[in-house]
Structure 1
Amino acid sequence: MIIGTAGHIDHGKSQLVKYLTGTDPDRLKEEKERGITIELGYVFMSLPDGGLLSFIDVPGHENFIRQMVAGTATVDCFLLVVAADEGIMPQTREHLDILRLLGVQRGVVALTKCDLADPEMQDLVEIEIVELLKGSEFPETPVYRVSSLTGQGMDHLRDGLVEMALSTGRRYSGGRFRLDVDRVFILEGFGTIVAGTAVSGSVRPGQEVEIQPGGGRYRVREFRVNTKKDVPVGCAGDRISLNLAGLRKEDVSRGSCVAEPGYVQVRNSLDTSLTMLAAAEPIKRYQRVRFHTGTAEVMARAIPVEGDMIAPGTTGFAHFQLESPVAALPDDRFVIRSYSPVITIGGGRILETGTRKVRRKYSEERVTHLEVLETGDPESILGEVLSDAGREGITVSGAAAVMSRSSEEVLEILEGMVLTGSAAMAGSGSSARVVDGGIFREACRVLEEGISDYHRRNPVSPGVMLSEPTRILGRYPQWIVRTVIDHLTESGRLQKRGDRLSVPEHPEGIPQEHRREVESLLERIAAAGPRGMEVDSRTDPSLVRALLEREMLLELSEGLLVTSGTARELMERVRDGLGGEGFSLAELRDFMGVSRKDALRWAELFDGRGWTTRRKDRRYFRVT
């Protein structure tokens, strides 16, 4: 677990951490000469269960708030330091605001330098601290009176920190690896080293990682976890120093992100839930601000999604256009500071990355979308992802990338959504495609209605050909067409009859009300014998087409029809007369007493029906 210090300059943060850990967090020569913390310092304290408590010591001076935000971005709990001889100061309040905006949920307060203040002064400052915390998200935070000089109260503070660490527990180390870089340095004989706190996942030697922004991929040569070299794996919550093969110092900087390849995308626009501090000025359209997320700081333009501003002490949705891209994911926390004077004015949670600037006329639609994302409910968010994907749908891996989750997690959610009808899926694993349940149901309705309409227009037809759904569902991709057919046939809402599709209530045979009409037409064509018959314009073409589909009629050539009974009778007569050694076209012509043209038509019909097969200039019967 990681504890971040917070508090005003010269209130004794570094001395307190040094007393607790035995290690001075100030490592720079300038820090030691000036007696102030300028850069982030990292030290460790052993826990009774064998684990380590990591401390990030942050600068207290207002000029170094950027470093403070970068350090606080990855902490689990805070150690707020207030000097007993001075009380609450400006950076005490600003640091507490930053902790709240970054979502840090618990901590302790150390009332330091008690050796410099009498008990009455200590009581007054503690009352001041309690009042400050009462109006924040941390009303029950314990206060410990300590002195780094005399050791007063240090054992109680250490016990309080241990209890907090053990009750908070380790971060979830599953998911995909990600580390926000807060230190970059050259180590002689090893090359460029990057260090930071693992936000999620785990990393091992030999693993390939990606640095964003930039997109360069590197192999982990070796690493240290919480200063230890012989640790086989670094997990979420660990301080990790990575030696990446081939990495140059100019390829990485504080604010970069080291992650599993393909996990983190670089974006220059974000939609957020923004909370403005009560003491801040309203945020207005296109106001230029300093945007901090993870360990990165970039300039940005803020655009409220609703109206022209977000008032102090309120929360609203804001779109940010970044002047430089950052590696950010939904649910990341952020802080904004005014351009000038440089003070913290608000912060919140990133809801979506890579978004377009919203037009006023679409603001209501965007607000509804962001309200769903703000809930944090994975199924609701996935529903929005599917809605945005539209008829094309999206792969499981694609949805996972949008949601910054693993494909396995997203697949598990989707399987539940499929059962409730909220989604439809085709395929398996991360490559499976998925579409919104409402869109899928609409496609099913369109196909059912299309086939029912076909039956109304073609009552004698056995059904539509299997290629017809592609035309009916012309606006949908082929994978949805196939999935709709499978779903409707498996559920009994459609039936496959050979190479045809029909609704279940459509009769397989000739409908009763059309039988006399069919019989009359068949009799007329049968009377024409082997020469066939061309029907006139008075005959319903849809009826002819339906009888061809049912193979009750056969086509000798375009428009020239014979009945299937006539064709079979002729085939049997030819087989009995010429079938022994096969026959040539001339032999068929002479046997039938017709022209060569008519004989060719019948020979091709025999072939087409599979009754005969052709070898050079002779045909042989395949039926007996």
Structure 2
Amino acid sequence: MIFSHSYVSSWMMCGSTLMDAALLVIASNEPVPQPQTREHLVALKIMGVKQIIAVQTKIELVPDEEALKHYEAIVEYLSTELEEVPPVIPVSALHGVNLGHLIKEMVERFKPPERDPTLPPQMYVARSFDVNRPGTRPDNLRGGVLGGTIIQGEFKVGDEIEILPGIYHQGKYHPLTTEIISLRSENIDLEYARPGGLIGVGTKLDPALTKADYMVGNVVGLPGELPPVWEYIDAKCVFLERVVGLKEELSVRKPDVNTLIELNVGTATVPAIVESKGPEDVYGLRLKIPICAEIGQRMAVSMRISGRWRLVGYGFIQRGREYKY
């Protein structure tokens, strides 16, 4: 799937929420760093992704000497941004050069984090689908499918699940409950699923509710065991010195009261209005879309700059006011 550049930032933040490790891809025929390189690296740092390998691509497009200088520029850039410079692997996907070495490095360096399978299960919804073909008869319709990553615990076929904040209908949000009828990873049917990789969850939901990614941003769990749903939060915010994603150097101006900002919390992209600005950059934020989130959960903060949302910082939820269903 290909998105226009105006959507890249939100999808990038959503994706980085689900990652345990990342490949930072840098083209050999462009100066280092490009605005998007800075933006992606900052996003990985904000979301706490520390397992990184840099991939220097398209080495077939430049002479050997330029490729070597470009490699050195990547190393120098990463040394200023990260505590430890990750491996930088030059590759040519077109000619299959060094792909085996890249895969070997991924296998050796990328380690799954330790997770407690006894925790209450939670899954971030990153996609949702209607898998029925046009013209399917009503008695043959299959329930909606949720796609995403399990962040803790274990789901099993047959589990009753709750989905928060739910769906918007007639002026307010409504929580959903349903049953897991299938679990699938790639083309493999599962009886249970734990954290790691992307999972498709077949449900008994009306497929009209899940079509066209309508459920993105929700959190799935067992009934009564999900975090609170907030309509207002106080968040401790940390702002970057410079706006990332721009070619020119531009200092970050902290948002004032009544400013519209954008938050990325889990897989949810949420517009918010700054209602108060306290000491030590604790901001009171009225959310235009409720979120299901833990106290202390990390979030990315963006502001509208030069015509699109730009990453300017991050924050942690300290407290809030729960949404009244």
Task: Name the TM-score class by shorter chain.
Answer: 0.7 to 0.9
Q: Which residue of 2 aligns with 1:276?
A: 239
C-alpha deviations, 1:494-519, integer Å up to 9, x for none?
xxxxxxxxxxxxxxxxxxxxxxxxxx
Alpha-carbon distance in structure 2 between the residues aligned to 1:113 and 1:159: 19
Structure-2 change in CA distance of 1:270 and 1:132 (3 Å): farther
2:200 aligned with 1:233: no
Give how far 1:323 is off: 1.6
User: Are residues 1:125 and 2:70 paired?
Assistant: yes
Q: Does 1:186 align with 2:159?
A: no
Query: How far did residue 151 of structure 1 move?
Result: 1.2
Whether the aligned pair in 2 keeps the contact of 1:223 and 1:243 (CA below 8 Å) is yes
| Superimposed CA distance per residue, residues 275-324 of structure 1 (whole angstroms, 9 cap, x where no aligned partner) | 211104221332210111111111112343217xxxxxxxx433322122
Deviations 1:68-107 (A, max 9, x none): 1111111011100000111331111111111111111221
Q: Does 1:260 align with 2:219?
A: no
Question: Distance between the aligned counterparts of 1:345 and 1:144, measured in 2?
Answer: 29
Instruction: Give the counterpart letter for 1:77 in structure 2.
Output: A
The answer as to 2:316 corresponding to 1:349 is yes
Identify if the C-alpha distance between structure 1 residues 174 and 279 changes in structure 2 by more than 3 Å, giving closer, same or farther. same
* SS class of match (2:66): helix
SS of the counterpart of 2:284?
strand
User: Is residue 288 from structure 1 mapped to residue 253 from structure 2 by the alignment?
Assistant: no
CA distance in structure 1 between the partners assigned to 2:311 and 2:90 by the alignment:
29
Give the aligned CA root-mean-square deviation in angstroms: 2.2
Change (3 A) 1:320 1:135: farther
What is the identity, as a one-letter code, of the residue corresponding to 1:277?
L
**Shift of residue 226 of structure 1?**
4.2
Aligned equivalent of 1:337, options 302, 305, 308: 302
Per-residue CA distance 1:596-618 (angstroms, 9 max, x = gap): xxxxxxxxxxxxxxxxxxxxxxx
2:217 and 2:83 mapped to 1: Cα distance? 29
Structure 1 vs Structure 2: percent identity of aligned residues? 25
| Deviations, residues 189-208 of structure 1 (Å, cap 9, x unaligned) | 42311100111111001101
- Deviation string, structure 1 residues 563-602 (Cα, Å, up to 9, x no partner): xxxxxxxxxxxxxxxxxxxxxxxxxxxxxxxxxxxxxxxx
Partners of 1:206 and 1:344 lie apart in 2 by 40
> Counterpart of 1:135 in 2: which secondary structure?
helix
Q: What TM-score do you get using the length of structure 1 for normalisation?
A: 0.44
1:77 paired with 2:40, answer: no
CA distance in 2, matches of 1:132, 1:139: 12
Q: 1:345 to 1:113 in 2, by over 3 A?
A: same
Structure 2: distance between partners of 1:279 and 1:246:
44
1:133-212 pair list within 5 angstroms: 133-165=78-110, 167-169=111-113, 171-188=115-132, 189-212=141-164
Q: Find the counterpart in structure 2 of residue 301 from structure 1.
A: 273
Match of 1:325 in 2: 290
**Cα distance in 2, alignment partners of residues 353 and 338 from structure 1:** 21
Residue 58 of structure 2 corresponds to residue 113 of structure 1 = yes
Structure 2 gaps of 5+ residues are 133-140, 167-174, 244-251
Seen in structure 2, the aligned counterparts of structure 1 residues 352 and 105 have a Cα distance that, compared at 3 Å, is farther
Give the Cα–Cα distance (whole angstroms) in 2 for the partners of residues 62 and 86 of structure 1.
21
Structure 2 letter corresponding to 1:301: I
Report if aligned partners of 2:231, 2:289 keep a CA contact under 8 Å in 1: yes
1:219 alignment counterpart:
179
Q: Is the Cα–Cα contact under 8 Å of residues 149 and 199 in structure 2 kept in the other structure? A: yes
* 2:121 partner letter: F
More strand by share: 2
Report 1 or 2 for greater relative contact order, CA contacts < 8 Å, sequence distance ≥ 6. Answer: 2
2:48 maps to: 103
SS in 2 for 1:191: coil
Residues 62, 91 of structure 1: 8 Å contact kept: no
> How many corresponding residue pairs?
290
Specify whether residues 269 and 225 from structure 1 end up closer, same or farther in structure 2 by C-alpha distance, changes over 3 A only: same
Q: TM-score, normalising length from structure 2?
A: 0.82
Amino acid at match of 2:265: T
The answer as to whether partners of 1:105 and 1:137 remain within 8 angstroms in 2 is no
Contact 2:300-2:315 at 8 Å conserved across structures: yes
5+ residue gaps, structure 1, are 1-25, 27-36, 39-58, 308-315, 356-624
- Paired residues of 2:142 and 2:207 also in contact (CA < 8 A): no
Does the C-alpha gap of structure 1 residues 63 and 195 become closer, same or farther in structure 2, counting only changes over 3 Å? closer
* Higher helix residue share: 1
